[in-house]
């Protein structure tokens, strides 16, 4: 069996209040990827549909999408691992192709978060944690990640100012990404300005500015076996390494609170499969659902030693011109985080970068890229290494 | 014959909003009412669990005995919430936290009478049963 390549990528604009149904939202990412791959729906052997459930009235969206996108009578299946659903979908697509069952598989991620209120959304996301033993205390995603931030600060001396620098970087690139939901600049001073929404406390030590933007959006990644990838695409991007991991859903069942074991574990697997080390990575997309998550990702992926992630951002090493550019599309913080679409969107960003098609966001000549996508509060982790 | 089996829904009394009411470890609630916060231990292999569970993943036995959480533990981390999910608005502000007892950890809330400026990672705390205004039960962490 040969390699598996990515021959098409697409995403909708990430927006607040998408004015259409979920199938119409999915069509936007799918259309862009199909035009990118220059194939027809008859070329696709199977589809994998990814999102976090409970945001939609529609049960079992896979069949609905397959019909709307012209992907019947081919098989379709729904995959979910919360915020890493579409990275897990790509992992499944890889196995479907490697096994020889299908030549070309489309992975479609989506989320329409705006159908419910922000407080309802927090309640649903909070129920991605342990509903029996933790949710009755009133948990939500920002508070869980805030507990990681607090521990990181106590253990390593990371500060709220360090976290603010992550958001400032995200906004730098969100402004030049026409698909981003948050396109305004964010300055370091806003975090100490009581008049700025960025400084408003959410769950200490995290403020509004430390939290990603909810959004509606869709993404699509089209994968093919080596023969088809070479036939259809002038510039296929190859999957070189993949890793995936899980851990205890409840905090009481974990040992590490200054990093995410799923990020470490998935990263180690992906590096091993690719035969690479962190030094080989030219550009990365990491799961910055909260500012602290990006600092932990630097450390969990080996871009920095434990506790030294803050130095990377202080030295601007993760900016476009730095030694390891990270989230040069605005990240989840500014591009937005439509849960089930996020992994596919991250992969799209890296594919465009490796092909040299990233426009104003283009990093100078990257050859190897890494995608780090986390589900829940470090409950699931996927790392994917891509190369030209 | 023909009568509907009555469900044991005691777990519905746990926390501000309980999302599940039926579990095989429902005696946890009775023990809370007796002032005890309890974990359990597998009688076959000795594995300790908090939160308690009906089944041991190590030896696959379902043969548990209760133990009471006692003594002091270190505060691993916490967060004070200024926003709350639906159903918890009236509790604001409150802090969720994690204590490390060495053999196990306990996730819960910090007692609302402890001022935030007295909370510090690493401080010694203890776990105590707490009754909420509407009669629901949970447990909170107090300064040791």
Residue range A346-351: mean pLDDT, rounded: 98
B28–A contact, CB cutoff 8 A: no
* SS3 assignment for chain A: CCCEEEEEEEECCCECCCCCCHHHHHHHHHHHHHHHHCCCHHHCCEEEEECCCCCCCCCCHHHHHHHHCCCCCCCEEEECECECHHHHHHHHHHHHHHCCCCCEEEEEEEEEHHHCCHHHHHHHHHCCCCCCCCHHHCCCHHHHHHHHHHHHHHHHCCCHHHHHHHHHHHHHHHCCCCCCCCCCCCCHHHHHCCCCHHHCEEECCEEHHHECCCCEEEEEEEEEEHHHHHHHCCCCEEEEEEEEEECCCCHHHCCCCCCCHHHHHHHHHHHHHHCCCHHHCCEEECCCCEHHHHHHHHHHCCCCCCCCHHHHHHCCCCCCCCCCCECCCCHHHHCCCCHHHHHHHHHHHHHHHHHCCCHHHCCCCCCEEEEEEEECCCCEEEEEEEEC
Q: Which domain holds residue B117?
A: 73-143
Burial class (CB within 10 angstroms; exposed 0-12, middle 13-18, buried 19+) of A221: buried
User: Could you tell me if A55 and A18 are in contact, meaning their C-beta atoms sit under 8 angstroms apart?
Assistant: no
pLDDT for the residue numbered B3: 62
Q: How far apart are CA A191 and CA B138, in angstroms?
A: 35
Q: Which domains does chain A have, with CATH numbers?
A: 4-116+214-232 (3.40.47.10)
Q: Do B47 and B83 sit in the same domain of this protein?
A: no
Where is pLDDT greater, at A55 or A314?
A314
**Contact check, Cβ <8 Å, A143/B79:** yes
Of residues B16, B51, B121, nearest to A133 (C-beta): B51
Q: How far apart are CA A228 and CA A5, in angstroms?
A: 9
Give the HSE-up count for residue A83: Cα atoms under 13 Å, Cβ half-sphere.
29
With cut-offs at 50, 70 and 90, classify the pLDDT of residue A53. confident
Give the HSE-up count for residue A31: Cα atoms under 13 Å, Cβ half-sphere.
9
Would residue B5 count as lying in a domain? Answer: no
Q: Do B64 and B94 sit in the same domain of this protein?
A: no
pLDDT above 90 for A35:
yes
**Contact check, Cβ <8 Å, A136/B106:** no
Where is pLDDT greater, at A58 or B43?
B43
pLDDT above 80 for A129:
yes
pLDDT for the residue numbered A120: 78
pLDDT tens digits, residue range A222-248? Answer: 999 999 999 998 899 999 999 999 999
Mutate which of B39, B50, B74, B83 to test chain A, going by most A C-beta atoms within 10 A? B83
pLDDT above 80 for A195:
yes
Q: How far apart are CA A148 and CA A95, in angstroms?
A: 34
**Contact check, Cβ <8 Å, B77/A151:** yes
pLDDT for the residue numbered B30: 97
Sequence-distant (≥ 6) Cβ neighbours of residue B61 within 8 angstroms: B42, B43, B44, B45, B55
How close, in Å, is residue B24 to chain A by CA atoms?
12
Q: Do B54 and B106 sit in the same domain of this protein?
A: no
Would residue B97 count as lying in a domain? Answer: yes
**What's the pTM value of the predicted model, to 2 decimals?**
0.96
Return the number of CB contacts < 8 Å for A and B: 119
With cut-offs at 50, 70 and 90, classify the pLDDT of residue A115. confident
**Contact check, Cβ <8 Å, A151/B97:** no
How close, in Å, is residue A297 to chain B by CA atoms?
19
A287 in catalytic set:
no
Q: Do B80 and B38 sit in the same domain of this protein?
A: no
A296–B contact, CB cutoff 8 A: no
pLDDT for the residue numbered B2: 55
Mutate which of B85, B93, B104 to test chain A, going by most A C-beta atoms within 10 A? B85
Closest residue of B to A136, CA-based?
A: B15
Residue range A104-122: mean pLDDT, rounded: 87
- Percent residues over pLDDT 90 in chain A: 93
pLDDT for the residue numbered A213: 83
Using a CB-CB cut-off of 8 Å, the residues of chain B touching A206 are 79
How close, in Å, is residue B61 to chain A by CA atoms?
19
Residue range A121-128: mean pLDDT, rounded: 76
Would residue B59 count as lying in a domain? Answer: yes
A372 in catalytic set:
no
Closest residue of A to B93, CA-based?
A: A203
A257–B contact, CB cutoff 8 A: yes
pLDDT tens digits, residue range A367-388? Answer: 999 999 999 999 999 999 999 9
| Strands A380-387, A368-375: pairing kind | antiparallel
Would residue B44 count as lying in a domain? Answer: yes
Would residue B89 count as lying in a domain? Answer: yes
Burial class (CB within 10 angstroms; exposed 0-12, middle 13-18, buried 19+) of A98: middle
**Average pLDDT per consecutive 10 residues, chain B (144 residues; last block may be shorter):** 77 94 95 98 97 97 98 98 92 97 98 95 98 96 97
Sequence-distant (≥ 6) Cβ neighbours of residue A336 within 8 angstroms: A14, A15, A180, A181, A182, A212, A213, A214, A215, A217, A330
- Percent residues over pLDDT 70 in chain A: 100
With cut-offs at 50, 70 and 90, classify the pLDDT of residue A69. very high
Task: Say how many domains are in chain B.
Answer: 2
In Å, what is the CA distance from A64 to each residue of A75, A76, A109?
12, 10, 14
Would residue B116 count as lying in a domain? Answer: yes
Would residue B123 count as lying in a domain? Answer: yes
Of B21, B40, B68, which residue constitutes the final position of a domain? B68
pLDDT for the residue numbered B124: 98
pLDDT for the residue numbered A1: 64
Residue range A90-104: mean pLDDT, rounded: 98
Of residues B77, B81, B106, nearest to A257 (C-beta): B77
pLDDT for the residue numbered A301: 98
Closest residue of A to B122, CA-based?
A: A154
pLDDT for the residue numbered B54: 97
Mutate which of B107, B112, B136, B137 to test chain A, going by most A C-beta atoms within 10 A? B107
Q: Do B86 and B46 sit in the same domain of this protein?
A: no
pLDDT tens digits, residue range A158-185? Answer: 999 999 999 999 999 999 999 999 999 9
Residue range A96-121: mean pLDDT, rounded: 91
Q: Do B77 and B54 sit in the same domain of this protein?
A: no
How close, in Å, is residue A265 to chain B by CA atoms?
21
Q: Do B124 and B95 sit in the same domain of this protein?
A: yes
Using a CB-CB cut-off of 8 Å, the residues of chain B touching A204 are 79-80, 82, 116
**Contact check, Cβ <8 Å, B98/A204:** no
Q: Do B44 and B95 sit in the same domain of this protein?
A: no
Residue range A276-282: mean pLDDT, rounded: 98
pLDDT above 90 for A78:
yes
Residue range A81-107: mean pLDDT, rounded: 98
Q: Which H or E element spans position B65?
A: strand B64-68
pLDDT tens digits, residue range A284-338? Answer: 999 999 999 999 999 999 999 999 999 999 999 999 999 999 999 999 999 999 9
3-state secondary structure of B7: coil
A251–B contact, CB cutoff 8 A: yes
A116–B contact, CB cutoff 8 A: no
Q: Which residue in A83, A211, A212, A289 is the catalytic one? A: A83
pLDDT for the residue numbered A85: 98
């Amino acid at each position: 069996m040969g390699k598996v390549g990515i021959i098409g990528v697409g995403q909708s604009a990430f927006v607040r209040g998408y004015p259409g149904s979920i199938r119409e939202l999915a069509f936007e990412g799918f259309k862009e990827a199909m035009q990118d791959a220059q194939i027809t729906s008859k070329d696709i052997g199977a589809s994998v549909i990814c999102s976090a459930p409970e945001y939609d009235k529609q049960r079992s969206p896979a069949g609905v999408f397959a019909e709307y996108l012209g992907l019947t009578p081919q098989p379709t299946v729904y995959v979910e691992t919360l915020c890493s659903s579409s990275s897990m979908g790509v992992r499944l697509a890889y196995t479907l192709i490697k096994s020889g069952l299908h030549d070309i598989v489309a992975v479609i991620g989506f989320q329409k978060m705006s159908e419910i209120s922000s407080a309802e959304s927090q309640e649903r996301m909070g129920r991605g944690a342990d509903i029996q033993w933790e949710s009755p205390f009133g948990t939500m995603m920002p508070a869980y990640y805030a507990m990681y931030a607090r521990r990181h600060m106590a253990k390593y001396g990371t500060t709220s100012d360090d976290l603010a620098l992550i958001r400032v970087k995200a906004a730098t690139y969100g402004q030049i990404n026409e698909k981003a939901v948050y396109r305004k600049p964010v300055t370091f001073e806003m975090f100490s300005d009581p008049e700025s929404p960025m400084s408003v406390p959410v769950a200490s030590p995290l403020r509004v500015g430390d939290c990603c933007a909810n959004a509606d959006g869709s993404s699509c990644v089209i994968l093919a076996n080596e023969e088809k990838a070479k036939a259809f695409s002038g510039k296929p991007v190859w999957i070189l390494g993949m890793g995936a991991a899980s851990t205890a859903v409840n905090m009481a069942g974990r040992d590490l609170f200054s990093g995410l074991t799923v990020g470490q574990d998935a990263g180690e697997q992906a590096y091993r499969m690719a035969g690479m080390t962190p030094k080989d990575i030219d550009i990365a997309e990491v799961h910055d659902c909260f500012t602290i998550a990006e600092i932990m990702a630097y450390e969990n992926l080996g871009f920095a030693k434990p506790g030294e992630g803050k130095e990377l951002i202080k030295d601007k090493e993760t900016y476009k011109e730095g030694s390891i550019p990270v989230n040069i599309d605005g990240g989840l913080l500014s591009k937005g985080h439509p849960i089930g679409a996020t992994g596919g969107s991250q992969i799209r960003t890296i594919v465009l970068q490796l092909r040299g098609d990233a426009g104003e966001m283009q990093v100078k000549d990257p050859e190897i890229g890494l995608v780090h996508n986390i589900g829940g509060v470090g409950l699931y982790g996927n790392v994917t290494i891509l190369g030209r | 014959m023909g009568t509907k089996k009555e469900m044991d829904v005691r777990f519905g009394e746990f926390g501000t909003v309980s999302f599940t009411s039926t579990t095989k470890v429902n005696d946890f609630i009775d023990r809370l009412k007796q002032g005890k916060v309890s974990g359990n231990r597998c009688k076959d292999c000795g594995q300790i669990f908090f939160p308690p569970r009906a089944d041991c993943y190590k030896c696959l036995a379902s043969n548990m005995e209760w133990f009471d959480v006692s003594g002091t533990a270190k505060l691993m981390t916490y967060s004070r919430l200024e926003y709350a999910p639906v159903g918890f608005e009236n509790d604001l502000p409150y802090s969720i936290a994690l204590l490390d007892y060495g053999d196990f950890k306990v996730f819960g809330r910090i007692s609302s009478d402890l001022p935030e400026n007295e909370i510090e990672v690493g401080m010694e705390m203890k776990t105590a049963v707490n009754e909420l205004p509407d009669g629901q039960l949970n447990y909170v962490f107090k300064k040791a």
